[in-house]
Amino acid sequence: MRWFGYDVSANVSLLFTELPYEQRFRAAAGAGFAAVESWWPFAEAHPGTERLDTLVTAVRDAGLTLTGLNVYAGDMPGGERGIACRPERANELDDALEALLHVARATGCRSFNLLYGQLDEAADLAEQRTTAVGAYRRAADAVAEIGGTILVEPLAAGLNGTYPLTTDEDVRDLVAQVERPNVAPLLDTFHLAHNGADVVELATRWGGTVGHVQLADNPGRGEPGSGELDWHAFGSALRASGYTGTVAAEYRPTTSTDRTLAWLGEAQHG
């Protein structure tokens, strides 16, 4: 699958959810995708080697490339959005990085999204920032040995609790403070547009320096074309910015996934 000349990966944590998780890889391949990405699919930071290998096998058996994987982010279904800023969860992060590297070495995945976590507003906020910076440094150093990149993502305000990164400025300030060459911003069109950003302007201004791009419309987080974003303008701006990575279909389909893929055929540029 290609869009504006970019290879498109399917995020199987949001797409093909009509099927059990492990069956979504074959479904993505059947729909024409050559690459996939995923949130951390396990409830634990380290579910054990056998269960990690089931993920690796699902990717391989479908003939796909795994281009992105989220670091364990706590209880996502329960509302958590990362653990990086929480001092009491440092051991979990270490376990998560060990598990992540197991999958990365087996699949060739080199792009990893580490969510900051929600602030405990009753605790020391400065300590939580220091903890987060240290966590991003540890993660970056861990994946550097395989040529990996740690991504920093802003999330939609009002939908993710006390998650503090909501703008491109928030993300860039953190990236600068972490001071690691393999830490980069993630440009997610839904989250940023929901927070009032002009994503076309952002693509023009800093698309060439982001580590990854994820596509979903706003409002609603549906497939491109289901909301109000100008996808031709965004795709053109991203091309002009010099961004050379993949883009991910990371949206909530408004109907069955297969019926939401027409947008991929509407801009076969490049």
* Active centre residues (catalytic): 153, 250
Can the peptide bond before residue 219 be classed as cis, meaning omega within 30 degrees of 0? Answer: yes
Give the β-pairing of 6-11 and 111-113. Answer: unpaired
Going by C-alpha positions, the residue among 68, 72, 76, 75 that lies closest to residue 84 is 72
**Are the beta carbons of 60 and 36 closer than 8 angstroms?**
no
Cα distance between residue 240 and residue 237, in whole Å: 5
In sequence order, the 6+-apart residues with CB closer than 8 A to the CB of 8 are: 1, 2, 33, 35, 246, 247, 248, 249, 264
**Are the beta carbons of 110 and 104 closer than 8 angstroms?**
yes
DSSP states along 69-118 = EE---S-TTTT--BSTT-GGGHHHHHHHHHHHHHHHHHH---EEE--B--
Cα distance between residue 270 and residue 267, in whole Å: 9
Beta bridge partners of 213: 187, 247
Could you tell me the CA-to-CA distances from 248 to 33, 112, 261 in Å, in that order?
A: 11, 13, 13
